[in-house]
Structure 1
Amino acid sequence: MSRVLLIEDDEVDRRNVIRMLSLALPEWSIRSSTCLLDAERELSEFEFDVILCDLSLPDSIGISSLVRVLHAASGVPIIVLTGLESDKTSMDALMEGAQDYLNKNQITPELIRRSIQYSVQRNHLSQRNAELMASLVKSEEALRIQNRRLRKACETAQQFVDNVSHEFRTPLTVIKEYASIMAEGMVGPVPDKQLRLLRTIDDRASDLNNMVDDMLDISKLESGLLTACREKCSVESIIENVSSALQQKAAIREIELEISVADDLPDVFCDAGKATRTLINLGVNALKFASHHVEVKVQFQTPHDVAFTVIDDGPGIPDEQKELIFQRFSQLQSNVDNAGKGFGLGLNIVSELVAINLGRLSVDSQDGSGSEFTFTLPTCDHLEVAKRFIDHSSRNANCPQTVALLKSTIPIDQDAIGDDVRKFFLCTLRQNDLLLQIDRRSYLILAAVDQIQLSEMGFRIEEQRARLNRNRLSSPLPELPLENLGMYHLDQKNEVLIDKVAEQITDREYSYV
């Protein structure tokens, strides 16, 4: 049975309220007290669903009466009764924790029934909210603890990968150097059969070195620490960096390798190291599956794209496997010797590196008729490069969907410090940042960051500059102020941001980057 406690010392008022309660809630049990001391005894012996309390009692008066009842009946809804018309008293009572406020001279059965009903409901909701908040705080703390553990585990795993990868490099270097020394006859004549074996050792060591590079890149990608040194570079330099390694692998595998570069190709805007890695991985993959011939060709694809294509005459790729080959730890099911297999990271890394270089990757293959992999690199058109970067950021689920547009103007002429500022920015900024040099002293930075990350980037740049200057023998790098030209939310068109970039680089000389 529901139970109500009435705390009222005035006999007339007490009888009137009890009568109203009996009419309003005939099924409820009503108990009454004339002072707080008696009420506290009642509260210690019985459980009540609601309390009606006068503020003027023999042993307490005013809001202090309510405070004592709240303390003695934690969690029970309290309705304050008074014979005075005072908005201040009613507001004070409600602020202190009362659920309602009734004037004893205006009470009716309907009014008191509705007040009790709503007070009980509000109190229930209030308690439920308090429980949910407590549960939320507890869950939030558990989540913070779990996140700390996961962050620690992730950092430990990344550190392990980094350590293992770096530890691999020393013995790999020794193996490759000793194999090369022996193959060149520096320690004595080498028969042809042994020479072929030494070349195979060197080739397999190179494969393992590529796997180490793949693991390091994956680790840096996962931690968001991979840098992207995008700048102007020649197509010839990229080809020159891969030609020797691919020719050697082709000779060992007895595969004919043909490399052709179209005339008069413009410079491209990319991270040359990542472009080289992309071409190496695609070339090694083609040589692994080719039967007799692999072709690497470079040509214009569009006015803003140079295309690098690797073609093999291998078994081709079945349609059902085309969607899988770029997934991490996924390998094409084939009859290729297991000795030529890796971790299944090569093509996944290729897709990541092409995206970082703001290019596009495609594959054209039919089962039984070879494969053709093509990736593009943008030419050195700053506005086009900026558009590619903005589009890439808007489609990247791991990127904040905001881009900060920053401008840094160095206080001294670039000639005084050579090319060091540009190199510093390239080494300090990360894969979600784009650097454009717009004149001899000014740089434009597009950073896919939120407000907190933007502040962290500013601190990181200044910290790295100070650290570099401590160890710098030549003149120190000057201060590199970052002028915030605006924070832009990414959408489907991004026209406002693109127009702002165009405004900064229009009629500028692009030859600096």
Structure 2
Amino acid sequence: MSDKDAINILLIDDDIDDVRVLQRLLLRMPQQYNVDHGSTLGEGLQLTSTSQYQVIFTDLGLPDATGLEAITALNQACPDAAVIAHTGLNEEPLRIEALSQGAVDFLSKQDLSAISLKRCISENLHRSQLQENIRCLYRAMREKKEMVEAQAAKLTEQARELEEKNQNLKKLCDSAQKFINNVSHEFRTPLCVVKQYSSLIADAVVGPVNDEQTRMLRVIEDRVDDLNNMVDDMLDINRHEAGLLAAARKQCHATEIIERVLPVLQQRASLRDIRLDTEFDPSLPAIFCDPEKVTRTLINLAVNAIKFSPPNSTVRIQVTSEPTKNQIRISIQDQGEGIPADQQKQIFKRFRRLNEPRESSTIGFGLGLNIAEELVELNLGSMALQSTVGEGSTFSFTVPFQDAAEILKRHIQHSTAASGPTYFPISVVRISNPNATFDGEQHESEEIQAFLNNLLFSRDLLLPFPPNEWLVFLATNSQGVEGFAKRLNKQTETANRNRPIGKLPALQLEPIGTFDAVSQAKRLYDLIPVEAHVQ
């Protein structure tokens, strides 16, 4: 055994015979010991200043120490050593007092043997090692605590700074929103005046005009509409990025939407000598969508088709039913130049345009297709493009039927696709109108539905069920339900102050629960009866 593995022992005793007995016993043991001897406490303390000892045996009757002073002094000088009282007395009170003063053990010279000595040394070495381990753990725990407290303080400071930055960012966003709203208002006011006056002149209200003058005035109206659409695009981008571009979905009919916008589109087409055809079945199933968003999408795609089509060509608007997919498809086909395959994806990106130069009359902000695609997604549909260079392009988008189960399925798919394969909370709230009356019930129900739609954000969904019940699917956790309830109460108070025909009915709100749309989609589907259809 090497010296570095030997145990260092210090014997402090003025009786040389007792010292020799201890030394002989130690030499007989298999463990190797390095043994030093001091006759007085002073000599012992001197040795501890130059060497490190694991075990110290001290007599309690040293010439320069009174009683148990030696134990106290040695513990202070060697806090890591096992100090053992070694005396000729074998009195229990002395044993108790020695242990209370800091001795780790008490070994009587009268009971000294190789076995008792070996046991005493091994047990106390083991105890000392455990104490050292405990001290190391305590130090590590203290250091870890200090580190955690430092990190907590740092995180608290970072949270404060982040909150401050968030507040500043919110102010900037609010300022930007107000700026865009003000600018759009300032744009719309003169544009509206220009369009009204040009329309009055073109209709010969203020005097006769010839055909060429009428055509030029219609071109002015057409360009004013383009500017208005650009303003709408800018506003929608701002609302979409803020999460405020919501959809006021309800039961609609595609034929009614197309017939409303057809006159405007036919006027635009005629100004460019383009024929506009429509093809749809009047008996198409009802759809569930925000009609304003469908109208914007249709106008965007149709205007693009007209712009990029040569004179004397045809633009066709077609609506078909796809019952196996629970949707209709609205297609806009042109006979333009077509779009190369390598550019068909990039044209849907914001501020992206085709590489080919166009006439100045077709230049815009590069927002139309990007906004159209976002509007289609808000209506839980998808957009597609088929194009052949030299023959033309067909842009199409889908809108779901009014089937509630299909709508919820699409909403969950859109939500989880945006968040990825992770946890996505959806909180469900049931809203009812328990005091509904039969007289005027449908009109009141439609008004309540429009009111509730205005409370939702872009990733929320409202499904109405007759006669007076709605399910609200909020893209938030349970705490967000409280925020929705507060918005509902606040907006109800505001609406009632400004409502000329009396107050809104008192709505009953019942939270159903919060579900993970990724792992608990079936539980969400089960909330809707299979036979239920949106009304």
Structure 2, unpaired ranges of 5+: 1-40, 55-78, 81-99, 105-123
Deviations, residues 309-331 of structure 1 (Å, cap 9, x unaligned): 00111111112212211111222
CA shift, 1:82, in A, is 7.7
Q: Which runs of 4+ in 1 moved over 6 A?
A: 105-109
Corresponding residue of 1:65: none
Q: Secondary structure at the match of 1:501?
A: coil
CA distance in 2, matches of 1:378, 1:325: 25
Question: Which among 347, 362, 378 is matched to residue 325 of structure 1?
Answer: 347
Q: 1:361 to 1:20 in 2, by over 3 A?
A: farther
Whether contact under 8 Å (1:311, 1:370) holds in the other structure is: yes
Question: Which among 153, 163, 167 is matched to residue 148 of structure 1?
Answer: 167
Structure 1 residues 176-255: aligned runs within 5 Å: 176-255=195-274
Q: Secondary structure at the match of 2:384?
A: strand
Corresponding residue of 1:460: 487
Corresponding residue of 1:33: none
Deviations, residues 415-438 of structure 1 (Å, cap 9, x unaligned): 356323223223333332222222
Deviations, residues 283-326 of structure 1 (Å, cap 9, x unaligned): 11111111222111111123411110001111111122122111
Q: Secondary structure at the match of 1:325?
A: helix
The percentage of counterpart residues that share the same residue type is: 36
1:128 lines up with 2:155 in the alignment? no
CA distance in 1, matches of 2:51, 2:245: 73
Corresponding residue of 1:37: none
CA shift, 1:281, in A, is 0.4
CA shift, 1:413, in A, is 2.1
Moved more, 310-319 or 254-263: 254-263
Deviations, residues 477-499 of structure 1 (Å, cap 9, x unaligned): 22212212221101167222112
Q: 1:324 to 1:462 in 2, by over 3 A?
A: same
1:440 lines up with 2:461 in the alignment? no
Q: 1:17 to 1:226 in 2, by over 3 A?
A: farther
Structure 1, unpaired ranges of 5+: 1-10, 25-50, 53-80, 86-104
Deviations, residues 42-87 of structure 1 (Å, cap 9, x unaligned): xxxxxxxxx99xxxxxxxxxxxxxxxxxxxxxxxxxxxx98499xx
1:258 lines up with 2:258 in the alignment? no
Structure 1 residues 335-354: aligned runs within 5 Å: 335-354=357-376
Whether contact under 8 Å (2:247, 2:453) holds in the other structure is: yes
CA distance in 2, matches of 1:401, 1:242: 38
Q: Which residue identity is paired with 2:323?
A: T
Q: Secondary structure at the match of 2:301?
A: helix
CA distance in 1, matches of 2:182, 2:155: 39
Moved more, 108-117 or 413-422: 108-117
1:312 lines up with 2:339 in the alignment? no
Whether contact under 8 Å (1:406, 1:482) holds in the other structure is: yes
Q: Secondary structure at the match of 1:196?
A: helix
Give the number of equivalent residue pairs.
426
Whether contact under 8 Å (1:432, 1:447) holds in the other structure is: yes
Question: Which among 180, 194, 211 is matched to residue 175 of structure 1?
Answer: 194
Q: Which residue identity is paired with 2:392?
A: G
Q: Secondary structure at the match of 1:500?
A: coil
CA shift, 1:500, in A, is 2.2
Q: 1:350 to 1:106 in 2, by over 3 A?
A: same
1:288 lines up with 2:307 in the alignment? yes
Question: Which structure would you say has the larger Rg?
Answer: 2
CA distance in 2, matches of 1:21, 1:358: 82
CA distance in 1, matches of 2:439, 2:50: 93
Q: 1:194 to 1:20 in 2, by over 3 A?
A: farther
CA shift, 1:175, in A, is 0.6
Q: Secondary structure at the match of 1:348?
A: helix
CA shift, 1:149, in A, is 2.3
CA distance in 2, matches of 1:163, 1:17: 89
TM-score, structure 2 length as denominator? Answer: 0.73
TM-score, structure 1 length as denominator? Answer: 0.76
Moved more, 412-421 or 376-385: 412-421
CA distance in 2, matches of 1:389, 1:171: 40
